[in-house]
A and B are shown apart, each in its own frame.
Chain A
């Protein structure tokens, strides 16, 4: 008894008498994988039993639950797969497709979510987003979060607002489980692992796929130990940095073994096949969903505009959860990550999203043994799923398109007579403003303005009140003004005031309801001042300045369609026509005002708007919070610079 206890403690303390099981070289690779003391070592997760080779987590060991519907915990692969298939079979807006087979011959599926036409509601070419899940087998947070995104997109697709907008204007391609063989292996042994506590490997802690150097896949028997360390790290198998920069290993037993060649693995080939369905030319969002460490880790490609757009986009997404997720950027040439491939090859916003926890099981009161962060407690799973989905949906909305004005109508408040009506219509590759009614607005009279945009512009809380999307800060009512550039002095710039209640959440179209989506239009009354010096008709510019749900400013010139190419927005301009990736105000709607309702229109309305009201761009990174990798990277140079300065004195 005494001897057994001593041996147990000696093992955990790493005393020489136990031969210390697995040994590690300076690069963190196991250096004695064939030594039986390492090769055959087996451990078991428990709630609170640390004796022998048991490893106490400090909370219940999560076990897969067979349920298609979400549970407060993790679902089995089979029931997750059945859920994905059910959503596909039940919804014409989902198209599932096999994009490859794993080493064991299991299908890898992608689900394309969105209406079938691949064109936007106004006839443009739809954007596409690709979300990849479960590339690393043990990261169980990933399939749950990615499935939640899939579920929510389907659930909200006919909500008449935000969800319907996404469905009609964006194709979202979701690969819920890429590493099917590895994931099923982790679920086969949900409380067992091999290797070492410092670097747990097969069973619940398998990270890699089931590839082995001999070409025969790793067997699924955890007790057949000769091949337990093998497998390719699928997130080191992509081109763009493959085998470079010290981020991977050529040792087949390494946790970060890159494989014999870039894209050698069938799972990675399947991911590429999935992206081809977008097609890649339409992609402008890629997220590889991992756990853990709570960070958006983003390759910098050297394309300044892409990098800044990505930083802004991630900033908006991080803000959804109060910046609890960090932002990290990597400026090298990559290490073969999938995000390296998509960011650098296609110049699109792409990242590795590491889901919570930040530090490990200790974040939930656990023991913080090595790698406990991969074992999220059951009671955190439902919250985690919702949080990740709300972040990602914000990002998808942002990348679908830029906000812009779609139509305007002005009616006499008293008589209801239509005085002005215009809408943007397709014209070749772009648009033109089609003004169907153009009558003078008369001084001293009250009017009702109906203003419609191309997308839902406001979010509503569960009670139905106009509110902010979590973490965003958009004024309830736009900054609307009627400016008279040919006049000077007081009265040449009239604000049109309203509140959140002016946004329209009932259908009805022009004049009374929303145009296409709930909250894509507002209706507000205004009066043209009696004392406006408008004996002769003067042009009046309707200056529209607002941010959308995720704080993107308007495309100032809808004449050119907003699209994505070369790592930047194209056709996304401010009010002066400058392409700037952040938009500006809309000054394209020019009415005219006179003291007589039958006045002749002014000779020219090419007057522009004043530049006094420049929109404040949203903060790049959600207003602070962790991360700061670049700053840290610069820190040594700054310190050394300071030290050299001091020496010169």
Chain B
């Protein structure tokens, strides 16, 4: 190849590379997309298929030593192009998450966790080109390492649960986030009888401020311990409390359900979610309905209004309309108005129309009606 031709080829290559990298989307759409297409077609060829079959066979046989050698071979196999190599590496690595690691394979995975991607895909969905690894081998390796740690922790915890070993809670507290995940999985998989023995201890620690919220939630669910679940909802950090709250089924719950939800409605972080959880009870349970009406002029009155609206109940609608007409509390009237807006059926619209026509309707509230009535 002549020197001049090499230069031209180099120039064209640089041009294409920079077009693909540029944030300018207007030019040469066809050229831009070939990179992605090439990467996606990285599955053809006898060598690829041969190595893929070998991966599958080794995984099926749980042959971790063989897999370690196979990964080493994949990394250096000259018969594979980079795209095919990285696709094989990633898929094979991900399959290792369920296997028990041995030192050989751990070394290989640790090495691959720093793998530098060579094959990139340029996506145009964002309206401009963005490059992503076609097959992120490093991320897959890090995931597998994390999963192995979780699995080890899970096995450790499962054994401790089997022995009714209470020190497992201390180990949970001092563990990493990954280890805690494994512990929680072990408790979730254990029988209710096995985990129930931990409930009192966890409740005590939780209310004392120990970082056991995740485990306490899992144990409460696995053992069906309502007192512990309530403690999680009331004392755990908001995210755990909300996760616990989400597990409550008001319709199928016990008589204590409304008590727990009422308590959660008093906690700022969970109040809105708790009031919305009460919604299905409001049409059949007068105390639930009363609770929501009483909450209308409180700090989470908007959530109470939304909960009342969700029932779509004629009796509730009429009571809300009565509040809107007769209450001398501006905030309560606004919340009643909100609930009627959110109910959005003919009955509530009739009430809103009548309210809008009323001679004593204050202007400040009247302004909130027309947009909802599409007037």
Contacts and interface: CB of A to CB of B under 8 A. Distances in A.
Interface string B353-369: 00000000000100110
B60 interface: yes
Interface in A622-649: 627-630, 632-633, 635-636, 639-640, 643, 647
Given A6-B57, A647-B7, A92 B367 contact: yes
B139 A256 contact: no
Given A48-B150, A246-B29, A328-B23, A68 B272 contact: yes
A50 B52 contact: no
Contacts of A627: 23
A50 B52 CA distance: 17
A375 B136 CA distance: 17
A65 B34 CA distance: 41
Given A90-B334, A379-B239, A290 B23 contact: no
A565 interface: no
Contact of A24 (B37, B133, B341): B37
A207 B123 CA distance: 14
A633 B36 contact: no
Interface string A353-368: 0100001101001111
A9 B56 contact: yes
Given A89-B341, A297-B126, A332 B24 contact: yes
Interface stretch (A25-33, A391-399, A547-555, A613-621): A25-33
B26 A330 contact: yes
B27 interface: yes
B180 interface: no
Interface in B1-41: 4, 7, 10-11, 14-15, 17-19, 21-30, 32-34, 36-37, 40
Interface size class of A (residues with CB under 8 A): 35 or more
B306 A245 contact: no
Contacts of A86: 302-303, 305-306, 338
Contacts of B140: 367-368
B43 A14 contact: yes
B63 interface: no
Interface stretch (B87-95, B167-175, B218-226): B87-95
A50 B95 contact: yes
A256 B97 CA distance: 35
Contact of A90 (B36, B52, B238, B338): B338
B60 A2 contact: yes
B205 interface: no
A58 interface: yes
Contacts of B28: 246
Contacts of A330: 23-26, 127-128
Nearest to A7: B56
B contacts with A: majority SS: helix
A281 interface: no
Nearest to B43: A14
B19 A636 contact: yes
A261 interface: no
A207 B124 CA distance: 13
B125 interface: yes
Contacts of B139: 58, 362, 366-368
Contacts of A292: 126
B111 to A, nearest CB: 18
A374 to B, nearest CB: 10
Interface string B55-68: 11101100000000
Contacts of A633: 18, 22-24
A371 to B, nearest CB: 9
Interface stretch (B141-149, B193-201, B284-292): B141-149
Nearest to A360: B132
A269 B36 CA distance: 34
A67 interface: yes
B232 to A, nearest CB: 15
A527 B107 CA distance: 75
Nearest to A628: B23
Interface stretch (A94-102, A410-418, A568-576, A597-605): A94-102
B37 A25 contact: yes
A12 B91 contact: yes
Given A16-B49, A56-B143, A73 B87 contact: no
Nearest to A50: B94
A381 B37 CA distance: 34
B130 interface: yes
9 tightest A-B CB contacts, nearest first? A246-B29, A332-B26, A629-B23, A86-B302, A328-B23, A368-B139, A89-B338, A82-B306, A9-B56
29 contacts: A5-B56, A6-B57, A9-B91, A10-B53, A13-B43, A13-B88, A24-B37, A27-B37, A48-B97, A56-B94, A58-B146, A67-B276, A69-B300, A98-B374, A246-B25, A246-B30, A247-B26, A293-B126, A333-B26, A362-B139, A365-B142, A366-B139, A366-B143, A367-B136, A367-B143, A370-B132, A632-B21, A633-B22, A633-B23
Interface of A: 2, 5-6, 9-10, 12-16, 20, 24-28, 48, 50-51, 56, 58, 63, 65-69, 71-73, 79, 82-83, 85-86, 88-90, 92, 95-98, 198, 207, 235, 245-247, 255-256, 290, 292-293, 295, 297, 328-333, 335, 337, 352, 354, 359-360, 362, 365-368, 370, 378-379, 627-630, 632-633, 635-636, 639-640, 643, 647
Given A2-B60, A14-B87, A360-B136, 19 more contacts: A6-B56, A9-B52, A24-B40, A67-B272, A69-B303, A79-B276, A86-B303, A89-B302, A95-B367, A255-B125, A297-B128, A330-B24, A332-B27, A335-B127, A629-B23, A629-B128, A632-B23, A635-B22, A636-B14
